Every structure is written in C-alpha cells, then in structure tokens.
C-alpha cells in the first residue's frame, strides 16, 4: 500500500500543514509512522482528511462529521480503483461513485468533489468554473487549490485574487508563499510572507514556512528568528523544533541543538501515545 508524507498530502489536497495536523490530532485519521516518526497517510486517509475539512468549513457539527466519516471509511477501497473514484455532494448526502457502482454516506450539506485518475492512481480536486468578474475570494481560493497540481503558475495567479480582495485571507497568503517558494521565486515569496507579518499576523504555520524559505536562501540567523517566533505562537510545533535543532548543530551550538531535538522527540512521542 502506498503511503503519503505530510508534504505530499499538502500538495495533493491543497491543505495547509496546520489543518492536516489539527484533523489528525482530532482523531479523524490515524496515520502510520515512518522514518523519524513522521506521519505517513494512506489513500483512505487522504479522502477522509479532505472530506473532514470540507464538512468543518461548512460548520457541520463535530458529531455528525464523525458519523459521516466513519461510514465513508468503511466503504472506501484500500487503493485507487482502476475504475476511478468520484466523491461529490448531492443535497445533504455524500455520494460515492466507483465505476458503475454508487453508494451514499450520511453527511451535511457542503460542496465537495474528487476525481480519481485510474492511470496515475492519483487524486485531485475537481475544478469549478470561475467567472473572473463575479468570482468571490472563496471561489478564487478553491480554483487555486484545484489548479495546484496541473498549473502552478495559474494557481499562484488565482491565490493573488483573494489576497488582493481580502488582505486578511491568511490561508491564501500561506499557500501563495508556499507555491512561490517551491517554484524558486524566493524574493516574491518573501514579500508575501513579510506583508502578512506587517499586517499583524502571528500565525505559526506562516512563520514556520517563512523560516524554511529563509533557510533555503541561506539566511540562517533570520530563519532561526522566524522559527522562534513560530514556536512562541505555538510551542507544540514539532517540525519547528526539529529544524532549529539542525540549524543550531550547523552553527556549532550543541546545547541548543540537543534542547530542541529533545523537545521534538517529546512532542512526537506524545502524539503516538
């Protein structure tokens, strides 16, 4: 069975790491553990994560989400079927089509669609057509998420729309910065992150991503400052402790390296209990 890393889940589903962490810690999925105790998600986990996020965004009660996901997971195949897989919402029902077969999972009202690719064995969010003149910030965001897999440049352009329309759209800023970073547009990614910070954002994921960017730009001291700010906002960010430990090791500060690595191991260990 193929397993997906957190980074792969981020790219495939367009979910920020903070959402993946929150849904996992809430018990919606129980990923396996890989090297360095990293989470490894199954194909079923991917479906459940994206569905849970969509239901939560639609303000469906937690108890109802849990019931829906339990039923959904019970019917899902272990791997992508050759006939393809499509999950969509019809009124207040989750309808799953696997080849010629259809079945339902109890759910709340929300908009959700997936398309399975039987050739590549992959999963992608189905794109809705968005009219450029009348589209809302939310529609642009959804379009950007859908475009990430096939057209990164168009996805970045789409993320810019909700950022310009609503400067408080932190999720769009984070995703835009991540895309620019991944495509090595470092200077523009830095501007996106710094604009969010100047606007007063202390979001730990944004600060962590900013630290990773600065580290990739070989600006270690600034990266450490960003990581420390992220930990100030969320002391339980294990990945942040891990990155700081490696940086302190490179800077020949073994005591600090050991301290942060110990924190990382403690946090990872507490998640597996």
CATH number, position 56: 1.10.1660
Residues 225, 208: Cα–Cα separation, whole Å: 10
Cβ–Cβ < 8 Å for 204, 230: yes
Q: Give the end-to-end CA distance of the chain in Å, rounded to a whole number.
A: 24
Residue 75, in any domain of the structure: yes
Percent of the chain's residues with pLDDT above 70? 70
Question: For the residues 142-156, what does the mean pLDDT come to?
Answer: 80
Domain endpoint, select from 110, 125, 140: 125
Residue 235, domain extent: 210-273
Question: For the residues 183-203, what does the mean pLDDT come to?
Answer: 90
Q: Is pLDDT of 40 > 80?
A: yes
263 pLDDT band (50/70/90 cuts)? Answer: very high
Q: How many helices (H) and strands (E) does the chain have?
A: 12, 7
The full length of the chain comes to 273
Helix (H) or strand (E) holding 94: strand 93-98
Pairing between β-strand 122-125 and β-strand 86-90 as defined by DSSP bridges? unpaired
Q: Which residue has the higher pLDDT, 61 or 156?
A: 156
Residues 213, 178: Cα–Cα separation, whole Å: 9
Q: Are residues 21 and 115 in the same domain?
A: yes
Q: Using alpha carbons, select from 39, 38, 123 the residue that is nearest to residue 79.
A: 123
Q: Which residue has the higher pLDDT, 244 or 99?
A: 244
pLDDT digits (tens, 9 = 90+) for 154-179: 888 888 888 887 777 888 899 999 99
Domain endpoint, select from 125, 148, 166: 125
Question: For the residues 34-52, what does the mean pLDDT come to?
Answer: 82
Count: domains in the chain: 2
Residue 136, in any domain of the structure: no
Domain endpoint, select from 68, 99, 125: 125
- pLDDT for the residue numbered 10: 83
Judged by DSSP in three states, 104 sits in strand
Q: Is pLDDT of 89 > 90?
A: no
Q: Which residue has the higher pLDDT, 119 or 29?
A: 29
Residue 157, in any domain of the structure: no
Residue 105, in any domain of the structure: yes
Q: Which residue has the higher pLDDT, 219 or 42?
A: 219
Question: pTM for this one?
Answer: 0.54
Residues 19, 45: Cα–Cα separation, whole Å: 14
Residue 29, in any domain of the structure: yes
Pairing between β-strand 32-33 and β-strand 113-117 as defined by DSSP bridges? unpaired
């Amino acid at each position: 069975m193929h397993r997906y890393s957190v980074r792969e889940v981020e790219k495939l589903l367009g979910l920020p790491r903070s959402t993946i962490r929150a849904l996992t810690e809430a018990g919606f999925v129980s990923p396996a553990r890989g090297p360095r105790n990293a989470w490894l998600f199954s194909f079923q986990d991917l479906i459940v994560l994206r569905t849970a996020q969509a239901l939560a965004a639609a303000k469906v009660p937690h108890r109802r989400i849990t019931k829906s996901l339990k039923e959904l997971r019970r019917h899902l195949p272990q791997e992508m079927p050759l006939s393809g897989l499509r999950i969509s919402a019809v009124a207040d029902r989750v309808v799953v089509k696997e080849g010629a077969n259809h079945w339902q999972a109890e759910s709340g009202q929300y908009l959700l669609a997936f398309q399975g690719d039987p050739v590549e064995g992959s999963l992608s969010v189905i794109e809705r057509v968005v009219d450029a003149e009348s589209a809302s910030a939310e529609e642009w965001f959804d379009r950007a998420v859908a475009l990430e897999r096939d057209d990164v440049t168009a996805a970045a352009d789409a993320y810019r729309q909700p950022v310009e329309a609503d400067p408080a759209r932190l999720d769009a800023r984070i995703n835009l910065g991540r895309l620019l970073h991944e495509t090595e547009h470092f200077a523009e990614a830095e501007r996106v992150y710094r604009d969010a910070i100047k606007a007063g954002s202390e979001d730990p994921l944004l600060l962590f991503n900013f630290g990773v960017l600065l580290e990739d730009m070989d600006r270690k001291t600034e990266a450490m400052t960003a990581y420390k700010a992220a930990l100030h906002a969320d002391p339980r960010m294990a990945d942040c402790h891990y990155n700081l430990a490696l940086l302190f090791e490179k800077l020949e500060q073994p005591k600090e390296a050991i301290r942060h690595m110990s924190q990382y191991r403690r946090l990872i260990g507490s998640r597996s209990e």
